Amino acid sequence: MAQATVEVTTEEQAFYAENGYLLVKGLVSGAGIAELKERLEAYMYDRLPVPEDVRIQV
């Protein structure tokens, strides 16, 4: 699988850092996935688009 390098703004870095934590927490504890999906959808549709490489299907 090819990896792309994506330059992100400080705001995007904060978003990914926060929601990456939620994803890890969700995978470990079984909680947080719905919240992560909701935040990602809000981010994709209401804010900046998430590059195709980093979209996750839940």
Does residue 53 have a pLDDT over 60? yes
Look at residue 56 and tell me if it is in a domain.
no
Its domain, for residue 45, covers 18-49
Residue 23 lies in a domain: yes
**What's the pLDDT tens digit per position in 11-25?**
766 776 776 666 555
Q: Is residue 58 part of a domain?
A: no
Environment class of residue 55 by beta-carbon count within 10 Å: exposed (0-12), middle (13-18) or buried (19+)? exposed
Confidence of residue 9 (pLDDT cuts 50, 70, 90): low
Question: How much is the pTM?
Answer: 0.28
Count of domains forming the chain: 1
Does residue 6 lie within any of the structural domains?
no
Judge whether 8 lies within some domain: no
Q: Is residue 3 part of a domain?
A: no
Residue whose C-alpha is closest to residue 52's, from 35, 40, 39: 40
